[in-house]
Amino acid sequence: MSFYESLQQQTQAEREYLLAAPIFGEVLAGRISLDTYVAFLGQAYHHVKHTVPLLMACGARLPERLEWLRGAIAEYIEEEYGHQEWILNDIRACGADAEAVRRATPNLPTELMVSYVYDRIARCNPVSFFGMVNVLEGTSIALATQAAEIIQERLQLPAQAFSYLTSHGSLDISHVAFFEKLMNRLDDADDQAAVVHTAKVVYRLYGDMFRSLPLPMENPHATR
């Protein structure tokens, strides 16, 4: 079994915890409010804006034996730079206040998820960062494109309100294939263990981020 396959197997329970967040069932059933979608985009902004800084922190701390991985990080940085601004544009296309989102404090699970990965890079093993990559890219392929189609139809929003979801959905398939190759080159047991442990924790925190979003049934303005 390749390390990538082992990573998916070892994190199955945590992945199921994430996917059991009630918001996913609501969206797939067509129950979504504008406030809920904007709240999701707000939390996405507050973790996506850290993607490039986390990549830089990871790359700076990698040992020389992982120089090949530093090169991959340089590619990731080029591809990921500025994506948080796409999210703010989506929020504007929803008619919401993007600058208020920029200034806001993230929900606790979002803040903890980002802080945790910074800590893992600085205090434990910089390769830990790829546990977060496994969670975010794998989840986006599984859900993002389908969710975007349902939300757009339900709320009648313009296509400009979905640049984040559509770009991080089926288009991320090539990213995951790239990630799989990287993980299968990672042959050090300590590095592998760091990725697995981080992925497990990030699945839990990312799942809690989705659980922190307001459900449509909790919102008196559930229809647009």
What's the CATH code of the domain at 206? 1.20.910.10
Q: DSSP label at 29?
A: T
Decide: 32 and 221 in contact? Cβ < 8 Å: no
Read off the pLDDT of each residue in 169-191 and give the average, rounded to a whole number.
84
User: Is 41 inside a domain boundary?
Assistant: yes
Q: What pLDDT score was predicted for residue 172?
A: 60
User: Is 79 inside a domain boundary?
Assistant: yes
User: Is 224 inside a domain boundary?
Assistant: no
Q: What pLDDT score was predicted for residue 141?
A: 67
**pLDDT confidence band for 145 (50 / 70 / 90):** confident
Q: What pLDDT score was predicted for residue 170?
A: 56
Structural domains counted in the chain? 1
User: Is 170 inside a domain boundary?
Assistant: yes
- For the stretch 7-30, pLDDT in tens is 999 999 999 999 999 999 999 898
> What Rg, from alpha-carbon coordinates, does the chain have?
17
pTM over 0.85: yes
Here the tokens at position 131 are: 């546990």
User: Is 221 inside a domain boundary?
Assistant: no
- For the stretch 105-140, pLDDT in tens is 999 999 999 999 999 999 999 999 999 999 998 887
Interior/surface letters 84-95, b for 16+ CB within 10 angstroms, e for the rest: bebbbebbebbe
The fraction of the chain above a pLDDT of 90, given in percent, is: 77
User: Is 11 inside a domain boundary?
Assistant: yes
Read off the pLDDT of each residue in 185-191 and give the average, rounded to a whole number.
97
Q: What pLDDT score was predicted for residue 192?
A: 98
User: Is 123 inside a domain boundary?
Assistant: yes
- For the stretch 37-80, pLDDT in tens is 999 999 999 999 999 999 999 999 999 999 999 999 998 898 88
Range of the domain at 154: 3-215
User: Is 220 inside a domain boundary?
Assistant: no
Where do runs of H (alpha helix) occur along the chain? 3-10, 12-19, 22-28, 34-48, 51-61, 67-80, 83-93, 98-103, 108-119, 129-155, 163-167, 173-185, 189-211
User: 90: closest CA among 141, 152, 150, 29?
Assistant: 152
